[in-house]
Amino acid sequence: MQKCFIVVILNIVHVLILAHISYAIEMGIITGNEKGTYYQFGLNLKDLMAKYNIELNVYPSNGSVDNIYSVYKKSGANLGIVQSDVLAFVAKVQSNETLKTVAKKIRIVFPLYNEEVHIVARKGITDFSDLSNRRVAVGEDGSGTYLTAKLLFEASGIKPETMVNIGTDEALAQLKDGNIDAMFYVAGAPVKLFVEKIKQEDNLELVPVTNKEILDFYPGAEIPAQTYAWQDKPVNTVAVKAVLITYDFKSQNCENVGKFARILSDNLGRLAQNGHPKWKSVDLHYNLKGWKQCECVKKHLAPSAKKEPAKLNPVLDAIKGMLE
């Protein structure tokens, strides 16, 4: 009887412990391909937030365009990571009522890091101009890679023979099989897919992007030598800024985003030390023009108000003196 009583007590304690460690806040972040940098960032943030009693669900996606809409329609994704050029495009197109409405409701949490434009091609394609009259994979509809590739071709005047709308995994497989000549992928180096799936014997290489017409619109960047084991030399390219966004929430959802932002800001050093290498280059204070930061993020990042010095009380001082 006593033994049964002890078992019952232990079970009750176990239930109470589980109830105590249940997450106080549940949030969602929409990212990108599971082999891409956005998704790895999401997993790093999930691990960090768990230490602060926030359960962060990490959702893969097709990329930036999908992510903007997912955050806008609030389908469990309080947060999303997108490319700055996609955001700029959404803000610029005033002739489309849907895009105007979305732009009014999207808010910035933080700018993050530069994403390099990776163009992987068969040997012999040595410059962006060599993509003329080639078969080029430009990413799936809804991806930031797709929009960036289209904008680069538009800016440069280069016209490929075919722009193939497929995801990065399929594009790499088709590139290896010789069905296409090159593929785009906009992601922070090192890209997990290219680290794991490309070998020296595949005879693929990164294509430089040095066209003046493109550099007039995009900042230059470099992918250092040996970023990938199959890449012997540094490669000049262009970059876009990855940006963490949210919706123009009110009340509790807004407060949760603010708490999330404060935790990220306070632990940036930990993320840089233990997370994806791109955390080392994150600049939370980069000025991204044209977009408003979430009000609750501003509030939670504001310096704490200094405590006022205690007011003098001569009566209290006199009593303390008598009692010493």
- Residues 158-179 pLDDT 10s: 999 999 999 999 999 999 999 9
Q: How many domains does the chain have?
A: 1
State the pLDDT confidence band at 148, using cuts at 50, 70 and 90.
Answer: very high
Mean of per-residue pLDDT scores for the chain: 87
The 10s digit of each residue's pLDDT in 227-278 is 999 999 999 999 999 999 999 988 889 999 999 999 999 999 999 999 999 9
For residues 84-105, give the mean pLDDT: 83
4 domain residue, yes or no: no
- Triad 161, 144, 163: Cα angle to 5°: 10
Distances (CA, A) of 199 to 79, 100, 177, 193, 246: 35, 44, 14, 11, 38
Check if the beta carbon of residue 280 is closer than 8 Å to that of residue 188. Answer: no
pTM score = 0.78
The 10s digit of each residue's pLDDT in 239-250 is 999 999 999 988
182 domain residue, yes or no: yes
251 domain residue, yes or no: yes
- Tokens, residue 88: 């700029």
Which pLDDT score, from 0 to 100, does residue 161 have?
Answer: 97
For residues 286-313, give the mean pLDDT: 73
108 domain residue, yes or no: yes
16 domain residue, yes or no: no
219 domain residue, yes or no: yes
Which pLDDT score, from 0 to 100, does residue 101 have?
Answer: 86
Give the torsion sign (CA, 247, 250, 252, 258).
Answer: positive
Q: What is the CATH number of the domain that holds 133?
A: 3.40.190.10
Give the integer Cα–Cα distance in Å for 119 and 248: 35
319 domain residue, yes or no: no
Check if the beta carbon of residue 128 is closer than 8 Å to that of residue 90. Answer: no
The 10s digit of each residue's pLDDT in 39-92 is 999 999 999 999 999 999 999 998 888 899 899 987 789 999 999 988 888 878
Max distance between CA atoms of the chain, in angstroms, equals: 95
φ and ψ at 311, to 5 degrees?
-70, 145
Residue 317 has pLDDT above 70, yes or no: no
User: What domain range includes position 261?
Assistant: 24-301
Residue 314 has pLDDT above 90, yes or no: no
7 domain residue, yes or no: no
Residue 323 has pLDDT above 50, yes or no: yes
Give the integer Cα–Cα distance in Å for 274 and 46: 13
